[in-house]
Amino acid sequence: MATETEENYIKAIFKITEKNQGTANTNAVAQHLNTSPASVTDMLKRLSEKEYFHYEKYKGVYLTTKGIKLATNLVRKHRLWEVFLVDKLKFQWDEVHDIAEQLEHVDSDELITRLDTFLGNPKYDPHGDPIPNADGKFTLRSQTSLMNLQKGETGIVVGVRNHDTPFLQYLNKICVNLGTKISVVNNIDFDHSKEVSIDDENRVILSQKACVNIYVKKTND
Amino acid sequence: MATETEENYIKAIFKITEKNQGTANTNAVAQHLNTSPASVTDMLKRLSEKEYFHYEKYKGVYLTTKGIKLATNLVRKHRLWEVFLVDKLKFQWDEVHDIAEQLEHVDSDELITRLDTFLGNPKYDPHGDPIPNADGKFTLRSQTSLMNLQKGETGIVVGVRNHDTPFLQYLNKICVNLGTKISVVNNIDFDHSKEVSIDDENRVILSQKACVNIYVKKTND
DNA sequence: TCACATTTTTAGACTAATCTAAATTATAAT
DNA sequence: ATTATAATTTAGATTAGTCTAAAAATGTGA
């Protein structure tokens, strides 16, 4: 069994490699985990001996099958616990990350199997991120950034790109959540912001930055 | 915040002092935690500096108010999670201890408050042990050992003294659980065992050891 | 391609938690 | 009260994970 620290390293490497052509370098890992690059180097040496990833001095790391399996299982556990916290315990989507970060390290396959069943085998977490199944497979979904919706088009919010608390709380305030219907009323060209209507009720101006971070599924209305 | 290890020491000391006139000695703690007495001595020194308990060389320790508060909170968390595992995830009562042992270290007061509400503010865990409230107060219950029931008397199972897996599985097998009705049909004097009827259906012989470890509430039928 | 900046690694040290073996203190029995 | 035994502590070492400061390797721009 991997220690909690080891799990956190592997998860960090997984997240970094996802957005970086399959490799993670020392500094990126250090930044992600809020530790010193020196500590990371030490750890990379030790963990690569345990075959979670390949490590070459000065070249960074890339995960092995074993490492990917561990990482996706952690993602699975994290996201299932987030569903539990929001659906069952009525937390808001901006409050669950830190708690799920702890819960994901609880070690029991049976627990996760049963939790999954209890929650109704959800495919997406409270931020719209896909929950890998027990084999590590993600269910992908056709989605686009709200930025890509033209004037007059409508979509249903299915996810967010940014997970930071302030952004999520802002969305709470303007009543945007998963499942919310958003229609583009006007494109404001000079700063690429959009005037949108939310659930056919409120009209709001969303900045380019906000639009980029909201994923929607286009609808025909 | 206390580390997981620190929490485990304090919980062990709490459990030992509960059955030992308020003090715990080095060997008992070592045995309880499966470590060496030398490690325990080290830890007692360090933890007593953090004011969780008083420690005098060669004399053992007793908890401070701070220590008792931490310990009862851990007990509370452990037992609430056990309720969750049995009531919601449908684990059996003999399967939940190790998982709850991990879950109890997750740090979030809000989580426990919400979990308590979600579970309907249970007063007892799946083994019939009382769940302390947020202030550390236990709800006590009038109960007696099955050993004290006379021929013809009846009781409802409200708890177990022994929590070991084999004992709990044995009770599963003979259909004894919390809420089960047990009537004493005959006392067998020579070995202090009892012939009992279980939920008015099965008749079984329970050894003295089994009877001592089953708590019941007497009923008038 | 050479010098400078950036990234990474090494060296050496620290803390928490553990161990074994040896020394010390307490306890119980004659 | 003395001695044997049991309990406890000390000494010294180990492992995981971390740090800072310094050295080495890599990458980049003129």
Angle at B103 between CA B98 and CA B107, to 5 degrees: 150
Which structural domain range is residue B15 located in?
A: 4-63
Q: Best residue in A104, A106, A116 to probe B by mutation, most B CBs within 10 Å? A: A106
Please list the residues that pair with B83 across neighbouring strands.
none
Residues present in chain B in total: 221
In a domain, B123, yes or no: no
What string of pLDDT tens digits covers the 221 residues of chain A? 899 999 999 999 999 999 988 899 999 999 999 999 999 999 999 999 999 999 999 999 999 999 999 999 999 999 999 999 999 999 999 999 999 999 999 999 999 999 999 999 999 999 999 999 999 999 999 999 999 999 999 999 999 999 999 999 999 999 999 999 999 999 999 999 999 999 999 999 999 999 999 999 999 87
A88 interfacial to chain B (CB closer than 8 Å): yes
Using the 3D structure, point to which of A31, A63, A95 is the last residue of a domain.
A63
Q: Does B204 touch chain A (CB under 8 A)?
A: no
A105, A98 contact by CB (below 8 A): no
CA-based nearest residue to B106, from B137, B76, B64? B76
Which nucleotides of chain C are near protein (any atom < 7 Å from a CB)? 7-12, 16-22, 25-26
Q: B121 in contact with A at a CB cutoff of 8 Å?
A: no
The answer for residues whose C-beta is within 8 angstroms of residue A198's C-beta and 6 or more apart is A174, A175, A176, A180, A181, A182, A204
Distance CA A61, CA A25 (A): 6
Final residue of a domain: which of B63, B86, B108? B63
- Name the closest residue on chain A to residue B89, using Cα atoms: A114
Question: Would you say residue B185 lies in a domain?
Answer: yes
- Residue B111 falls within a domain, yes or no? no
Residue B193 CB neighbour total at 10 angstroms: 17
Residue B66 Rama label (left phi>0; alpha psi -120 to 50; beta): alpha
The token pair at B23 is 């003090």
Is B215 part of a structural domain of the chain? Answer: yes
Residue A182 forms part of a structural domain: yes
CA–C1' span, B38 to C17, in Å?
11
Looking at the domain assignment, is residue A100 inside a domain?
Answer: no
**CA B89 to chain CA mean position, Å:** 20
- Per-residue pLDDT, B80: 98
| Helix-strand-coil split of chain A, %, nearest 5 | 45, 20, 35
Q: Does the beta carbon of B102 lie under 8 angstroms from any beta carbon of chain A?
A: yes
Tell me: the pLDDT tens digits for A43-84?
A: 999 999 999 999 999 999 999 999 999 999 999 999 999 999
Residue A103 lies in a domain: no
CATH number at residue B194: 2.30.30.90
Q: In what order do the strands lie in the sheet with B214-219?
A: B144-145, B214-219, B154-160, B181-188, B193-198, B202-206
Are residues B127 and B163 in contact, defined by beta-carbon separation less than 8 angstroms?
A: yes
CATH number at residue B50: 1.10.10.10
Which positions 25-84 of B are in contact with A (Cβ < 8 Å)?
none
pLDDT category of residue B220 using cuts at 50, 70 and 90: confident
DSSP state of B24: B
B60-69 CB contacts, 8 Å cutoff, 24+ apart:
B60/B23, B60/B24, B60/B25, B60/B26, B61/B13, B61/B23, B61/B24, B61/B25, B62/B17, B62/B22, B62/B23, B62/B24, B63/B10, B63/B13, B63/B14, B63/B17, B67/B10, B67/B13, B67/B14, B68/B14, B68/B136, B69/B136
Asked whether residue B207 carries a pLDDT value surpassing 90, the answer given is yes
Instruction: Locate the DSSP E strands across chain A.
Output: 53-56, 60-63, 144-145, 154-160, 181-188, 193-198, 202-206, 214-219
B99 part of contact set with chain A, CB < 8 Å: yes
Give the CB-side neighbour count of residue B26, counting CA atoms within 13 A.
Answer: 15
Within window 34-63 on B, which residues have Cβ closer than 7 Å to strand D? Answer: 37-38, 40-42, 44-45, 55, 57-60
Q: Which residues of A touch B112 (CB under 8 A)?
A: none
Tell me which of A83, A91, A109, A111 to substitute to probe the interface with B (most B C-beta atoms closer than 10 Å): A111
Mean pLDDT within B146-156: 97
Nearest to B90 among A90, A107, A114 (CB): A114
Q: Kindly write down the DSSP assignment for every residue of B49-99, as one continuous string.
A: HTTSEEEETTTEEEE-HHHHHHHHHHHHHHHHHHHIIIIIT---TTSSHHH
> Which residue's alpha carbon is at the shortest distance from the C1' of D6?
B27
Could you tell me if residue B169 is inside a domain? yes
What are the chain A neighbours of B85 within 8 Å (beta carbons)? 111
Query: Can you read off the two tokens belonging to residue A23?
Result: 């490799």
Confidence of residue B221 (pLDDT cuts 50, 70, 90): confident
- Asked if strand D contacts A49 at the CB level, meaning under 7 A, the answer is no
Distance A28 CA to D27 C1' (A): 17
**pLDDT higher than threshold 80 for residue B102:** yes
Answer positive or negative: Cα dihedral of B26, B29, B35, B39.
negative
Of A38, A63, A88, the residue that ends a domain is: A63
Q: What is the mean pLDDT of chain B?
A: 97
Whether residue B184 has pLDDT greater than 80: yes
Looking at the structure of chain B, the number of domains it has is: 2
Q: Which residue of A89, A106, A118 is in closest CB contact with B115?
A: A89
Whole-angstrom distance, CA of residue A98 vs CA of residue A80: 14
